[in-house]
Amino acid sequence: MRRRLPVALAAALAGAALIGAAGCGAGGTAPAPKPDRASPTTSPSPTPVTGPYVALGDSYTSGLRIPPQGGTPQGCGRSGANYPSLVAQRLDLKDFTDVSCSGARTGDLTAAQRTEDGTNPPQLDAVSAATRLVTLGIGGNDAGFMDVLGRCAVENLRHSLIGKGDAAPCRTYYTTGAGSGEVQRKMTTTAERLTAVLGEIKRRAPQAEVLLVGYPALLPQDPGRCAETLGDGIADADIGFVAEQERQLNGMLRQRAEAAGVAFVDTYSSSTGHDMCEAEGTRWIEPLDAGKGLAPIHPNAQGQQGMATAVLSALRQRS
pLDDT in tens, 292-314: 889 999 999 999 999 999 999 99
Q: Classify residue 39: in a domain, yes or no.
A: no
Annotated catalytic residue 59: yes
Q: How far is CA 286 from CA 30, 159, 309, in A?
A: 15, 27, 19
CATH code at position 64: 3.40.50.1110
pLDDT (tens digit, 9 = 90+) per residue, 93-146? 999 999 999 999 999 999 999 999 999 999 999 999 999 999 999 999 999 888
Q: Provide the terminal-to-terminal Cα distance of the chain, rounded to the nearest Å.
A: 50
Q: Classify residue 24: in a domain, yes or no.
A: yes
Out of 85, 102, 271, 298, which one is annotated catalytic?
298
pLDDT given at position 2: 36
Of 75, 11, 63, 82, nearest to 294 (Cα)? 63
Out of 59, 62, 85, 271, which one is annotated catalytic?
59
Q: Classify residue 300: in a domain, yes or no.
A: yes
68 contacts: CB under 8 Å, gap ≥ 6: 79, 80, 81
Dihedral, CA of residue 32, residue 38, residue 39 and residue 42, to nearest 10: 150
Q: Classify residue 38: in a domain, yes or no.
A: no
pLDDT given at position 260: 98
Is residue 15 helix, strand or coil?
Answer: helix
Annotated catalytic residue 43: no
Q: Classify residue 207: in a domain, yes or no.
A: yes
Give percent of the chain with pLDDT exceeding 90.
62
Overall domain count for the chain: 1
Q: Classify residue 221: in a domain, yes or no.
A: yes
pLDDT (tens digit, 9 = 90+) per residue, 43-100? 345 678 999 999 999 999 999 999 999 999 999 999 999 999 999 999 999 999 999 9
User: 223, 230 in Cβ contact below 8 A?
Assistant: no
Distance, CA of 79 to CA of 65 (rounded, Å): 7
pTM: 0.85
Q: Classify residue 1: in a domain, yes or no.
A: no
Q: Across residues 190-211, what is the average pLDDT?
A: 98
Please give the full DSSP string across 87-135, using - where no structure is assigned: HHHHTT-SSEEE---TT--GGGGTS-EEETTEEEPPGGGG--TT--EEE
Domain extent at residue 310: 6-33+44-317
Is residue 294 helix, strand or coil?
Answer: coil
Q: Classify residue 279: in a domain, yes or no.
A: yes
